[in-house]
């Protein structure tokens, strides 16, 4: 089985080519730095349109077979920010602990962390995790929740993810 | 544009005149202490009736044009406590980080903080924030989340709020 | 009025007799250690079937008249874990602070705490609290939220619960 991970940058301006996709590239760089298990990347930049986001999440989960999809952008309170709603709409199970820990982590840096509506959930055998839009915050947030991700992927029937333990320590109960 | 802020005290006993509205007055006193931007007040005391709360939140947002509405009361587990449900019903977007931070803040003082179901959300260009019913807890909670409120109001297309930085520091990313 | 507390172990393997019900027994031992108010126990082991869980929660609340029901198991991200969904479906009010505090507590021990989807809610005069499945985690979690439980039961019209203050301190505002 080829292991696939989806990276979905959700941004009107990045998808229109106005901005370079630094958030998506930041996610990819972290995954490559941390994971020693080889993986294939499913990478897309799309606008902040809820039906487009939902269709893309469904495609990455159901057709592409990604075990993990990380999104960046679209989690704030602005009218165009609809990533959490799209994520909830396609997931069977929500994991509120991801959003709680990411906000608590960002709160150590900025009081506006409470404006982030990031969440995570499970669709079939795919874990979907919303990340913020700024590369610095992406690293802080993904670093906080990543130690639980490989075990979560195990629990939902996905492939075994192994990391470079010198750069990030993960945890599997009983191991 | 005249800047308006709504203060909504939700309490059967205060609306029946049995209690003085100390929670509403506590909110008003804090807003006047912290904000240097002049604002007009839209202030009401209503009973714990979900349709009445929803109608009043809609009026303050849509007709009165408040950029911010703070509610007090009705957030506990008792049968008459329905403020969070009314808030969720009128908002297009929920901001779970507000409730998380307010509960974490109150937990430093009382273990019963976890019984509060406070939330916050956005309806159009209006940020709605639930606060507890006791003046001491109102100050502790509003102090915790207020640093993020002016930037949130910016993001939803509201007016620019400025505070007296010697009494409360707010944060706007990139400023 | 006889005071009743429900303990519901939700586990395919325990209900099939493959595992001994150590989680349910751990809950019962804690309640007996902490509560000085005499109580009758309503105790069941059922499989991870959402309709079965919902029916049992309704029975414990409406027919048995439990003031408190604690569940163990079924709160993770695996396909068979549906306890939080069943809990939400039967409750009129959700209490997100319980899940937040339990996850924050478990996070001090394991990074996989964020995978727990535990919640709590109120159905009529019954407080329902989801606990994890491992005895060590059950104690850590119930210890964190228990100080708020007797006051919550007061607020929803239940009987007065008193604890052995030498083993666990509870809190009632104004008392």
Dump the DSSP string for B77-134: SSTT--HHHHHHHH-SEE-HHHHHHHHHHHHTT-GGGGG----EEEETTEEEEEE-SS
User: Tell me, what's the pLDDT at C2?
Assistant: 81
Q: What is the pLDDT of residue C1?
A: 58
| pLDDT tens string C72-123 | 999 999 999 999 999 999 999 999 999 999 999 999 999 999 999 999 999 9
Rg for chain A, CA atoms, rounded = 15
Please report, in angstroms and rounded to a whole number, the separation of the first and last CA atoms in chain C: 24
Mutate to test the interface with A, among B97, B119, B174 (most CBs of A within 10 A): B97
- CATH number for the domain spanning C108: value is 3.40.980.10
CB-neighbour burial class of residue A79 (10 A; exposed 0-12, middle 13-18, buried 19+): middle
Q: Is residue C94 domain-resident?
A: yes
Q: Does residue C134 lie in a domain region?
A: yes
User: C132 pLDDT exceeds 90?
Assistant: yes
Query: Could you list the pLDDT tens digit for every one of the 175 residues in chain A?
Result: 589 999 999 999 999 998 888 999 999 999 999 999 999 999 999 999 999 999 999 999 999 999 999 999 999 999 999 999 999 999 999 999 999 999 999 999 999 999 999 999 999 999 999 999 999 999 999 999 999 999 999 999 999 999 999 999 999 997 6
pLDDT at res. A118: 98
Burial class (CB in 10 A: 0-12, 13-18, 19+), B81: buried
Who among A98, A122, A170 is closest to C114 (CB)?
A98
Work out the percent of chain B whose per-residue pLDDT is above 70.
99
Residue A19: its pLDDT value, please?
Answer: 86
Option in A96, A155, A170 nearest C99 (CB): A96
Q: Which residue of C has its CA nearest to A92?
A: C79
Asked if residue A163 belongs to a domain, the reply is no
Q: Which chain B residue lies closest to C143 (C-alpha atoms)?
A: B111
Q: Is A77 within 8 Å of B173 when comparing Cβ atoms?
A: no
The count of residues in chain A is 175
pLDDT one-digit tens code per residue, B19-71: 888 999 999 999 999 999 999 999 999 999 999 999 999 999 999 999 999 99
Give the count of domains, chain C. Answer: 1
Contact C139, C26 (CB under 8 A): yes
Burial bucket for residue B164 (CB in 10 Å: 0-12, 13-18, 19+): exposed
- Secondary structure (H, E, C), chain A: CCCEEEEEEECHHHHCCCCCCHHHHHHHHHHHHHECCCCEEEEEEECCCHHHHHHHHHHHHHHCCCCEEEEECCCCCCCCCCHHHHHHHHCCEECHHHHHHHHHHHHCCCHHHHHCCCCEEEECCEEEEEECCCHHHHHHHHHHHHHHHHHHHHHCCCCCCCECCCCCCCCCCCC
Q: Which domain holds residue A19?
A: 4-155
Which of B111, B140, B141 should we substitute to test contact with C (largest number of C Cβ atoms within 10 Å)? B111
The answer to whether position B171 is within a domain reads no
Point out the residue among C100, C104, C147 whose CB comes nearest to the CB of B111.
Answer: C147
Exposed (0-12), middle (13-18) or buried (19+): which is C8, by Cβ within 10 Å? buried
B122 forms bridges with which residues in the sheet?
B93, B127
Tally A–C CB contacts below 8 A: 60
Over residues C29-50, the mean pLDDT reads: 97
Using DSSP's 3-state secondary structure scheme, residue C80 falls into coil
Dist CA B72 CA B129 (whole Å): 9
Q: What was the pLDDT predicted at C162?
A: 97
Average pLDDT of the residues of chain B: 96
Residues 6+ apart with CB under 8 A from C64: C4, C6, C42
Residue found under tokens 């990139």: B174
Q: Do the domain assignments include residue C9?
A: yes
Q: Which residues contact A22 (CB under 8 A, 6 or more apart)?
A: A135
The pTM of the full predicted model, rounded to 2 decimals, is: 0.97
- In this prediction, residue B175 carries a pLDDT of 64
As for the ipTM of the complex, it is 0.96
CA distance C93 to B85: 8
β strands within C22-157, DSSP E = 40-46, 68-72, 93-94, 120-123, 126-131
Residue B130: inside a domain, yes or no?
Answer: yes
* Model pLDDT, residue B19: 86
Question: What are the chain B neighbours of A99 within 8 Å (beta carbons)?
Answer: 96-97
Backbone dihedral angles phi then psi of residue C125, each to the nearest 5 degrees:
-105, 25
Helices B135-145 & B96-107, crossing angle to 10 degrees?
Answer: 130
Please give the residue of chain B at the shortest CA–CA distance from C126: B77
d(CA A56, CA B41): 45
Res B1 pLDDT > 80: no
Alpha-carbon distance values, B66 to A137, B25, B61, B150, C124 (Å): 31, 18, 5, 13, 35
Does residue C173 lie within any of the structural domains? no
- Cβ-Cβ contacts under 8 Å, B111 against chain C: 147-148, 170-171
- The predicted structure's pLDDT at residue B29: 97
CB A132 within 8 A of CB A99: no
Instruction: Take residue A17 and report the two structure tokens written for it.
Output: 């080519």
The per-residue pLDDT for A10 is 97
Q: Residues in chain C whose beta carbon is closer than 8 A to a beta carbon of chain B?
A: 93-98, 100-101, 104, 122, 127, 145, 147-148, 151-152, 155-157, 170-173
Which of helix, strand or coil describes residue C131?
A: strand
Q: Which of A67, A96, A144 should be substituted to probe chain C, the one whose Cβ sees the most C Cβ atoms within 10 Å? A: A96
| Residue A162 placed within a domain | no
């Amino acid at each position: 089985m080829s292991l696939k991970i989806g990276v979905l940058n959700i941004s009107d301006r990045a998808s229109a080519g106005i901005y370079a996709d630094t958030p998506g590239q930041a996610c990819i760089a972290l995954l490559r730095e941390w994971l020693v298990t080889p993986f294939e990347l499913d990478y897309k930049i799309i606008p902040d349109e809820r039906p487009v986001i939902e269709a893309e999440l469904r495609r990455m989960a159901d057709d592409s077979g990604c075990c993990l999809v990380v999104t960046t952008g679209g989690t704030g309170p602005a009218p165009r920010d609809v990533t959490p709603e799209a994520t909830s709409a396609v997931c069977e199970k929500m994991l509120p602990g991801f959003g709680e820990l990411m906000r608590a982590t960002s709160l150590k840096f900025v009081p506006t962390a409470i404006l982030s509506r990031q969440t995570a959930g499970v669709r079939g055998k795919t874990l979907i995790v919303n990340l913020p839009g700024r590369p610095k915050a992406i690293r802080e947030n993904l670093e906080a929740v990543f130690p639980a991700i490989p075990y979560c992927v195990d629990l939902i029937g996905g492939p075994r993810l192994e990391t470079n333990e010198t750069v990030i320590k993960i945890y599997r109960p009983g191991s």
